[in-house]
A = this chain, B = another copy of it.
Amino acid sequence: MNNVCILGAGSTKYGKLDESIIEIALNASVDAIESAGISPHDIQAGYISNVFGVADKQVHMAPVIMSNLGISHVPGLTIESACGSGSVMFREAYANVRAGFYDCILALGVEKITHTGTNQSTTLFSYCSDVFYEGGMGASFPGLFASIARSYMTKFKADEEDLARVAVKNHENGLLNPKAHMRKRITVDDVLNSPVVASPLKLYDCCPFSDGASAVILCSEDFAKKSGKPYIQVIGSGRGGSPAAVQGRKDIDTIPATVAAANQAYKMAGITPKDIDFAEVHDCFTIAEIIDIEDLGFFQKGKAAKAIREGATTRKGKIPINPSGGLKSKGHPIGATGVGQVVEVFEQFTGKAGERTIKDAQIALTHNFGATGASAAVHIFKKVN
């Protein structure tokens, strides 16, 4: 089995973009290729993650992207796993390099959705739920996460300010990220006073709909070493599943897919949560980040809200969470999000994260899920000094 490395990374700005989905995808791809110092001809396969290509009238994107890169002979595919598409696709690309099927893969996530408007985007996103029990019954994601938030707050005596603090911290981080969608400092009061979307979640508890693309170059360590360029290692990978509908879960304050994926990844890396120096986690809603960081083992169940209150998850805290700004501030182009997390780790570990650099970090974790956590993937990365 090959050691798998990331040799290059690139990303468009996340936000409302006017280019076609293919142009957005190409911009991130070219950035990743240039960052790796390779030629497109070094790429042996194109792994793409995307959910709603239909919204920009282009599916079957891999051949179009490969053709535009001048490498039409290179095989590709698109992987979808709702908002977790990027990490699930990354896992497949990782597996193919690890097994030696390919030496060098372009892993690209892309989404273009904002042009459809908030109503149509919300409707499309609801197709990612268990439609028979949820979307088709009128339960869209803000409502489902509101149920989760209400349960958590009741059981663990957390309040709306605890949720708000997640948003405030992530916006603070996003201010330092030139690619972030929402670069705006906010206060707890701003969150509490923003319009209610689905009680107890207010507008500022919710991540935005975003367009954008992120891409990384995965390769074997032999390939990376020969390049002479800086690279990072993937040392753990895990996947998990949960009952698709929230109503099918015994306990809605935890996401089984996250727990399973994290356990696999920690085991493969031979480490424990204590060894993680920072993490990019799936904060589609503020409550999600609170549950994530417990499920990932950074805090005991029910203890995360208190830890956040004490500053444990800020850039200088015990375990910095979402230094990129997370989905909340960096944005959430759903097919790209999981790849964008890897871009952040690459930039952190290769001296490209500027002011948001986490000091002395050596090991980082990415966590990304689909829908209310019906699918999830966790990856662990190591800085190569």
A contacts, CB < 8 Å to B = 1, 20, 22, 45, 51-54, 57-60, 62-64, 66-67, 71-82, 88-89, 92, 95-96, 98-101, 124, 126-132, 135-136, 239-245, 248, 256-257, 260-261, 370-371, 374-375, 377
Q: Knowing A80-B78, A95-B99, A101-B95 touch, does A63 contact B132 (C-beta < 8 A)?
A: no
- Pair A127/B81 contact, Cβ less than 8 Å: no
- Pair B75/A240 contact, Cβ less than 8 Å: yes
- Pair B82/A59 contact, Cβ less than 8 Å: yes
Distance (whole angstroms) from the CB of A51 to the closest CB of chain B: 6
- Pair B99/A81 contact, Cβ less than 8 Å: no
- Pair B66/A127 contact, Cβ less than 8 Å: no
- Pair A60/B82 contact, Cβ less than 8 Å: yes
Partner of A20, one of B66, B95, B132: B132
Copies of this protein in the complex: 2
Q: Give Cα A243–Cα B70 distance, bound, in whole angstroms.
A: 9
- Pair A54/B57 contact, Cβ less than 8 Å: no
Among residues of B, the one whose C-beta sits closest to the C-beta of A243 is: B72
- Pair A51/B59 contact, Cβ less than 8 Å: yes
- Pair B88/A77 contact, Cβ less than 8 Å: yes
Q: Give Cα A89–Cα B77 distance, bound, in whole angstroms.
A: 9
The 9 closest A-B pairs by CB, nearest first: A99-B99, A63-B374, A75-B239, A60-B82, A63-B244, A60-B128, A72-B243, A67-B244, A78-B80
Q: Give Cα A81–Cα B77 distance, bound, in whole angstroms.
A: 5
Q: Give Cα A64–Cα B20 distance, bound, in whole angstroms.
A: 31
Given A60-B80, A62-B241, 4 more pairs with CB closer than 8 A: A60-B370, A66-B241, A73-B256, A75-B375
Partner of A136, one of B57, B77, B124: B57
Please give, as numbers and ranges, the residues of chain B lying within 8 Å of A62 by CB-CB distance: 81, 241, 375
Distance (whole angstroms) from the CB of A122 to the closest CB of chain B: 13
Q: Give Cα A54–Cα B135 distance, bound, in whole angstroms.
A: 13
Among A20, A128, A245, the most chain B Cβ lie within 10 Å of the Cβ of A128
Distance (whole angstroms) from the CB of A297 to the closest CB of chain B: 18
Partner of A53, one of B127, B136, B256: B127
Please give, as numbers and ranges, the residues of chain B lying within 8 Å of A241 by CB-CB distance: 62-63, 66, 71-76
Among residues of B, the one whose C-beta sits closest to the C-beta of A245 is: B67
Q: Give Cα A116–Cα B370 distance, bound, in whole angstroms.
A: 27
